[in-house]
Amino acid sequence: MTIAIDESAPPPSVRLVALNAKLRWACFSIRLVAAAWVVFGLGLTSWNWGHRADSLETMHKLYGLDPESVSALGYWSSTSIALSTWALAALAAARLWRLTGIYLDGRVFSIAAAEALRLFALTGLAATVFNIGVRPFIFGLVSTELLAKLPAYAWINPQDVFYLLFCGCVFALSVILETAAEFVDEHERFV
C-alpha cells in the first residue's frame, strides 16, 4: 500500500504541531472535567436528597426544622426539582463539549467557535439563574417554616455570583472572538 503525499502542501511547522498537541490536551481535559462535574454534582445531589431521614435531621440541626412536619410528597417534590437543576448544567457541559469539538477540528478562531462559546455562556447563565430561582420552591415544598429560617447565603451564595460573573465574561469573550473572526473572514475575501 502506498501513501500519497501532497508535495505542494507546506510541511507542518514544529510550532503548529506543538500547538495542536497542547490544544488536544486542553480540550480533552476540559471535556473530562465538565463530564466529571456533572456526574459528581448529580451524584452528590442524589446522595444528599436520597437519604430523607438524614437530610431532615441536618435541616433540623441547622434551621430547627421539625422533621415530622415535612410531608413525603413535599420532600420528594423538592428532591425532583433539586435534581432537575442539573439538566441545564448537563446541557451547558454538552455545549462545552461541542465547543471543544470545534477547537479540535482546528477552527479555534472561527465564527462557529464564537457562536458555540456564546451558547455555552448563555446556557451556563440560564442554569445558574434557574438554580437560584427554584431554591424558594425547593425549600417551600419541604416546609414553609423553613423559608423564614434560612440565612441569606441559602438564597444566593458566592458560588452563584462566581458562576454569573464567569458566564458574563465568557459571553463578552464570545462577542470579541466573533468580531475578530468576522474581520478575518472579511480580510480573506479581499485578499
Residue 108 is classified by DSSP as T
Q: How confident is the model at residue 4 (pLDDT cuts 50, 70, 90)?
A: low
Of 171 and 188, the one with more pLDDT: 171
Provide the pLDDT for residue 16: 56
Three-class SS state of 149? helix
Q: Which of 2-11, 14-23, 179-188 has the lowest mean pLDDT?
A: 2-11
Contact 131, 82 (CB under 8 A): no
Provide the pLDDT for residue 175: 96
Provide the pLDDT for residue 3: 53
* Helical H segments across the chain, by residue range: 14-50, 52-63, 72-104, 111-142, 144-149, 158-190
Provide the pLDDT for residue 10: 52
Q: How far apart are CA 34 and CA 67, in angstroms?
A: 36
Flag whether pLDDT at 153 surpasses 80. no
In this structure, what is the dihedral angle of CA atoms 71, 135, 54, 46, given to the nearest 10 degrees? 110
Q: How confident is the model at residue 172 (pLDDT cuts 50, 70, 90)?
A: very high
